Amino acid sequence: MARILVVDDDRKTVATIALYLRNSGHTVVEAYSGSEAVELYRAQSPDLIVLDLMLPGIDGTDVSRLVRLDSDVPVIMLTARTFESDRLAGFAAGADDYVTKPFSPRELIARVEAILRRSAPTIHDQALSIGPVSIDVASHEVWVRDLPVRLTRSEFRVLETLARHPGQVFPRGELVRRVFGESYAGLDRSIDTHVSNLRQKLHAAGVHGLIETIHGVGFKLRGTRAQ
C-alpha cells in the first residue's frame, strides 16, 4: 500500500484522515505546518500528499510549488475556501485534486484510492511518440528530443490521453473523466489550468502549438502517432 503524507495545522483533522487511511492499509506520515511538510516530504518520499491550503509559515500553495520542483507525486489540496479562483490557484501550483472542507473522510479516501490507481502503470502502449515528444507511460517520463520535461501526474494524464488519440477532440467533461475518473466532482474548467501548465512546459522545451483549443468544445492534439 501507499505511504501518504497528511498535512494540516488542525491535529483533529490530521488524526481523522490518518485513521481512515490506516484502516485502508496505508502508511501515514503526519505534518502540521508547511515547513514540516517540506522536511518530511524530502525525508519520506511519500506516494501521495494530502495538503491543507491554509498553513502557518509556508502555505499549502507554496509547499505544492516546492514539491513540484523535483517530483510529480500526486497532491490532493484541502481548503475551506470555495471560490473557483482558489481552486484554480491550487491546480496552478501543481495540485492534482481539490477537496473542500468540511468533507466526508470516506470521499477523501475514495479520491486517494482513485489517484493511486491512475498512477499505476498500464500494460498497454507503454511508449507513445508525437513528433519530437516521447512519452514513457510506465515511468511517467516525457522527453522532447533529449530534453526531459517534468510534469505533474495530472498533466501527464492529460498529455497521455490526448496522445493516444491525436486529432480527436476531447470535450472538457470527457477529458476530466479520463484524467480524474468518473467519480470526480470538481469543475470541468479545472482542466484548463492543467492544459495551460502543460503547454508552458512543452513550449519551454521547444514544442509549440501541439495542443489545440477548440473553442466552446475542448482540446485536441495535433500530429500523428509514430508507429
CA 74 to CA 112: how far, in whole Å?
9
State whether 132 and 94 are in the same domain. Answer: no
| pLDDT tens for the chain, residues 1 to 227 | 789 999 999 999 999 999 999 999 999 999 999 999 999 998 888 989 999 988 888 999 899 988 888 778 899 999 876 667 766 777 778 888 888 888 899 999 998 998 888 766 554 557 888 889 999 987 888 999 989 999 888 888 899 989 988 888 888 888 887 777 655 555 566 788 889 989 999 999 999 999 999 888 889 998 766 54
Q: Are both 191 and 111 inside the same structural domain?
A: no
Whether 143 and 134 have beta carbons less than 8 Å apart is answered as yes
Q: What is the pLDDT of residue 128?
A: 86
What local confidence, expressed as pLDDT, does residue 148 receive?
92
Domain assignment present for 165: yes
Identify the domain containing residue 91 by its residue range. 3-119
**DSSP H or E run through 43:** helix 34-44
Report the candidate in 135, 140, 194 with the shortest Cα–Cα distance to residue 164.
135
Least Cα distance to 78 among 101, 95, 94 occurs for 101
Q: What is the pLDDT of residue 49?
A: 96
Looking at residue 68, its amino acid is: R
Domain count, the chain: 2
Question: What CATH number does the domain containing 111 carry?
Answer: 3.40.50.2300
Q: Are residues 100 and 162 in the same domain?
A: no
Sequence-ordered list of residues with C-beta below 8 angstroms from that of 45, at least 6 positions apart, any chain: 3
Question: Residue 209 maps to which CATH number?
Answer: 1.10.10.10
Query: Is 227 within the bounds of a domain?
Result: no
Instruction: Report pLDDT for 187.
Output: 55
Set of cell numbers at residue 159 = 498529455
Is residue 226 a part of any domain in this protein? no
Spatial CA neighbour of 224 closest among 124, 89, 130? 130
**pLDDT score, position 22:** 94
Q: What are phi and psi of 66, to 5 degrees?
A: -65, -40
Domain boundary among 119, 139, 165: 119
Q: Are residues 49 and 111 in the same domain?
A: yes
Is the same domain home to 108 and 183?
no
Q: Which residues of 89-127 are buried (b: 16+ CB within 10 A; e: fewer)?
A: bbbebbbbbbbeeeeeeeebbebbbbbbebbeeeeeeee
Select from 88, 119, 150 the last residue of a domain.
Answer: 119
Same domain, 136 and 95: no
pLDDT given for residue 206 in this prediction: 93
What is the value of pTM for the model shown? 0.61
